[in-house]
Amino acid sequence: MNAVILVGGEGTRLRPLTCNTPKAMVPVLNRPFLEHVLCQLKAHGVRTVVLALGHLSQPIEEYFGDGSNVGVNLVYSVEKEPLGTAGPVKLAEQYLDGRFLVLNGDVFADFDITSIVAAHGRSGAVATLALTPVEDPTIYGVVEMSAEGRVKRFVEKPRREEVTSNMINAGLYVMEPEVLSYIPAGTKVMFEHNVFPALLKAGKPMFGHAQTGYWIDIGTPQKYLQLNLDMLGKDAHAPQHPAGALVHPTARFSGSVLLPDDCIVGAGVRIAGPAVIGPSCQLGPGSVLSRSVLWSGSLLSENCSVSASVIADQCVIGTGAIIDNSVLGDHLAIAPGARIGPGVKLWPKTGCGAT
């Protein structure tokens, strides 16, 4: 079975992390987000994956190439203009062969895809939507179902008074080729606003399949940080200090810490996990890092404190600076002694329309 992953969104809400990095490439446990999704699809027997993209496609193609490193056959389907969520699937029709999967490219779901596909086959649905429970359905697509699991109504981003269920569209669909005939070619079309309502109106069987596994949409920096911490915490492995990392004997670790072997950790450093440190980072003497994600090549000078924050590539944090509950774009220099946060987002000097 083949799959289409929608990776064309601009990742606006994830800024400043997405100013120079496509949403699909933001690192999760030091590997691009998309790599986790591709590995999961491979594990469920998907052979060919169409990446439907537009914005910032080059870094994705450069990293993944033909997909052989991850073990799937990758096809790039690049839109000239954004075609929404369904338009790109129509554009990729030539690569689809029979029943197929569609995934929102910003969702991490630890779902049993094989069982969803099997249920789809048994029910005779033209489309089966994986569903997940959430506390606030108003920022998602809400699905109302019959007792048998047949979708009766789909409402995208309902107003609070319209919410009738906490089961939302998890952004993973199994579809029959017939659905493609409901997507006009060459124009922006949304599953959520156009195709699902049209299928329901035509009386076509659409089913929901509730899942209980871990699910997150990494739409915001907070969610992105959460995914990293959850994934690292879940493994609950002891602090990792690969042989190659230069760790001063007085440095102290607690909880799960991901530390690549080309990092340098100075005297008296304290790292309280879960924490993810990217390749080639340096943590200067006396610095404290907790519940945070550092991308590659960042430097904490002496006696810095970073908590509940995300710091993108190649930042330099001056001596004694304190960063709390904040998000730093790439290539930023923070002055010695600076106090940043809580709740601050700092934009990089390039990207996001800066230059």
| β pairing state of 151-156 and 141-145 | antiparallel
Q: Establish whether 157 is a catalytic residue.
A: yes
Interface residue with Mg ion among 79, 106, 176, 313 (CB under 5 A) is: 106
Q: Does 192 bind ligand GDD (CB under 6 A)?
A: yes
Q: Which two tokens stand for residue 156?
A: 């995208």
Asked if 92 interacts with ligand GDD (CB under 6 A), we say no
Q: Residue 176 or residue 217: which is nearer to Mg ion going by CB?
A: 217
| Residues in Cβ contact with 159 at an 8 Å cutoff, skipping those fewer than 6 apart | 138
Residue 7 binds which entry of ligand GDD, Mg ion, none, CB below 5-8 Å type-dependent: ligand GDD
Q: Which of 18, 33, 79, 130 binds ligand GDD (CB under 6 A)?
A: 79
Residue 217 interacts with Mg ion (CB under 5 A): yes or no: yes
Sites for ligand GDD among residues 153-172 (CB under 6 A): 156, 168-169, 171
Q: Pairing relation of β-strands 299-300 and 270-272? A: unpaired
Question: Which is nearer to Mg ion, 33 or 64 (by Cβ)?
Answer: 33
CB under 5 to 8 A by kind: which of ligand GDD, Mg ion, none does 140 bind? ligand GDD
Q: Which of 65, 71, 66 is nearest to 45 (CA)?
A: 71
Q: Per-residue DSSP letters for 59-87? A: HHHHHHTTSTTTTSEEEEEE-SS--TTTH
192 binds Mg ion (CB under 5 A): no
For ligand GDD, the binding residue among 32, 67, 219, 266 (CB under 6 A) is: 219
Per-residue binder mask for ligand GDD (CB under 6 A), 23-62, x = binder: -----------------------------xxx--------
Question: H helices within 44-152, ranges in order?
Answer: 58-64, 87-91, 113-123
Q: Which residues have C-beta within 8 Å of that of residue 147, sequence separation ≥ 6?
A: none
Q: Which does 8 bind (CB under 5 to 8 A by kind): ligand GDD, Mg ion, none?
A: ligand GDD
Contacts of residue 15, defined as CB under 8 A and 6 or more positions apart, other chains included, come to: 329, 345, 347, 352
Residue 167: how many other CB atoms lie within 10 Å: 20
Residues taking part in catalysis: 157
Q: Which residues bind ligand GDD (CB under 6 A)?
A: 6-9, 52-54, 79, 82-85, 88, 104-107, 140-141, 156, 168-169, 171, 192, 217, 219
